[in-house]
Amino acid sequence: MLGRAVAVKVLAGGADRDRIRDEARSAAALSHPNLAQVFDYGESDDTPYVVMELIEGETLERRLAGGAVSPADAFRLCAEVASGLAAAHDAGLVHRDVKPANIMVTVSGAKLVDFGIAAPAGAGEERVLGTPAYVAPERIMGGAVTPASDVYALGVVLYKLLAGVLPWPGESTTGIVRDHVHTPPSPLPDQPGVPRPVAALCMSCLAKDPAARPPARFVGDVLARAAARAVLGEPAARTPRWRITAAAAAVGVMAGAWLYSGASPVREPSGGPPYVQPEPAEPPPTTAPVGTPPTGPVPAGATAHETAGPPGSSPPPSPGGLPTTTSPAPVTPAPAPVTFTADGGTATARCADGLAELTGWAAAKGYKVETVRPGPAATATVTFRHGNDLVDVAVTCTGGTPRADVTARKR
């Protein structure tokens, strides 16, 4: 009617019209440059159809058939898909079929297409829909549809773009499904042009526990920065080494500021939920009483305590107790990170140049990570959610020492 070129998706007979119409309506409400726009829904001779944006380009699957893409292109394409997914997730919609065949590569960037099996976040699944190689383990096990499932699929796409293969050795559909649930993904091979933060991000997206995966918006931010650095030819920042240890209490991966800093994870053979913390330069930290109380009130039901290493010792006096002006000033070691524990989870933070920076966080049992602003900033925050209950942990720096305000609230 408007004289424009569109794509018309005709659905097979016997499809659930009500579900398809509802999903088309949800997808039509989305507007984002990295999502294919849905214009209309209709039925012709009892056959439902969806009218969509016509995209000029080729699928990422076809692009891969012609040869591998560069790491910079992989970062950029997945960053754009993650940005589109974040918009869909903000609208309460989960795509459920993120894969190279549903990613269009155009002159203006990547576009995620085909919301044909999209579903509202939190919905149950009578049967698992999607492509087996990209289906998250919780969906296979009958869990609810969540945005984390899309992040898992995007992690598989990113891994395949960088390594050229899937993260598991299984070849048959049965083997792939079994690997999703039981087999830890193979570590991403070291490759030129793939900085350690990106490799760590990719592996965190593939965590078996959906609460351990970073949100799509965070994935997009990290990959966009990596793509920009690759284009400009900037080397990755030097950072301290990190280690990953399995922790029974940790249900969330520390996919925070260490991803920005270039930290290097070391996988445990157990394949359990990863918990990330810096390699201590001094003896392991010991539990100390809570220092200066938070500047704001801690409401009932929300508590916080901190664990920090021993304070740095003063340099020895000069011979005879006389001051000297010829010796260089002693180097003061950076303060050890401090871990704050609240009802919703834990947050580990440090202070640098007067700014607070979260170096890790993990949700408590029954909670999940809602949002993270890791800093460095005047205030670094992480929010944990359980149903409609939110717990905010806001970290600031006072005299070079992290201090936390914990607030419990309703969504």
Active site amino acids: 97
- Cα–Cα distance between 126 and 120 in angstroms, integer? 14
**206 beta partners:** none
**404 beta partners:** 395
Q: Which residues contact 343 (CB under 8 A, 6 or more apart)?
A: 301, 302, 303, 364, 391, 408
- Cα–Cα distance between 370 and 390 in angstroms, integer? 8
- Categorise residue 262: left if φ over 0, alpha if ψ from -120 to 50, beta otherwise: left
Distances from the Cα of 306 to the Cα of 245, 298, 341, 349, angstroms: 20, 14, 7, 10
Q: Determine whether 278 is exposed, middle or buried from the number of CB atoms within 10 Å of its CB (0-12, 13-18, 19+).
A: buried
34-40 own/partner pairs: CB under 8 Å, 24+ apart: 34/80, 34/81, 34/83, 34/84, 34/87, 34/109, 34/110, 34/111, 34/112, 35/84, 35/87, 35/88, 35/111, 35/112, 36/104, 36/111, 36/112, 36/113, 36/114, 36/115, 38/115, 39/6
Contact 406, 297 (CB under 8 A): no
